Amino acid sequence: MNDDLLDLDRRNGLPAEWLTLLSRHPRSSWQSPGTLGMTAQFWLDRHQAFRQLGQALQDSIEALRAGRSAPEDFQAGFVPRLRLFLGELNGHHQVEDLHYFPVFRQAEPDLAPGFELLDRDHQTLHAELIATAEAANALLQALARDPSAAEGPLETYAEISGDLLSGLLRHLDDEEDLVIPLMIELGEIG
Ligand SMILES: [Fe+2]
Ligand SMILES: [Fe+2]
């Protein structure tokens, strides 16, 4: 498969040649007692928190669009949660790039192309994260000026943040498929 077909917005999963360990340790086995160490479970929990927070932010945008929430109520919940989401996501990717991926690459050189792809995902997601923050600022400024005239910035934000969330969901699933079986295989001591 060439690299372009593996881009975050085009692929539907990882190539089979990187998923040998996943077939040995399928998702259905992960929650069996004693299978996951603390780090793997923590990592999965972080990913789940990103999925939930990302979806909650999209839901609050949908509520604003549909007129189910007033602009001031929307802002009170949206601003701190978006700040948390973007900040934590950025920190999570840095920890993976700097600490986890180098260790995994060294432990399993055959999977190095997989970690390069995840690294590239982080760059894509980072650009989308910045675009989302900018679109959010434009939306908040428009709401402060005149909520009845904020439709354009609202649509722009919904589209840009929707791209971030769909890319993130793809990335989280693929990263888990690569990393969790490797952590189970290696064990976590050391
Ligand atoms: Fe990641
Ligand atoms: Fe991650």
Ligand 1 centroid to Cα of residue 124, in Å, is 11
pLDDT tens, N- to C-terminus, the chain (190 residues): 566 899 999 999 999 999 999 999 999 999 999 999 999 999 999 999 999 999 999 999 999 999 999 998 999 999 999 999 999 999 999 999 999 999 999 999 999 999 999 999 999 999 999 999 999 999 999 999 999 999 999 999 999 999 999 999 999 999 999 999 999 998 876 5
List domains and CATH numbers for the chain.
34-186 (1.20.120.520)
- Residue 53's Cβ-side half-sphere holds a number of Cα atoms within 13 Å equal to 20
Predicted local distance difference test score (pLDDT) of residue 102: 94
Predicted local distance difference test score (pLDDT) of residue 187: 85
Ligand 1 centroid to Cα of residue 81, in Å, is 20
Ligand 2 centroid to Cα of residue 43, in Å, is 7
Predicted local distance difference test score (pLDDT) of residue 4: 86
Predicted local distance difference test score (pLDDT) of residue 79: 96
Nearest to 14 by CA among 135, 98, 111: 111
Ligand 2 centroid to Cα of residue 8, in Å, is 14
The alpha-helical segments, DSSP class H, found in 8-150 are: 20-24, 27-30, 38-65, 71-95, 101-107, 112-145
Predicted local distance difference test score (pLDDT) of residue 14: 97
Ligand 2 centroid to Cα of residue 137, in Å, is 26
Predicted local distance difference test score (pLDDT) of residue 3: 61
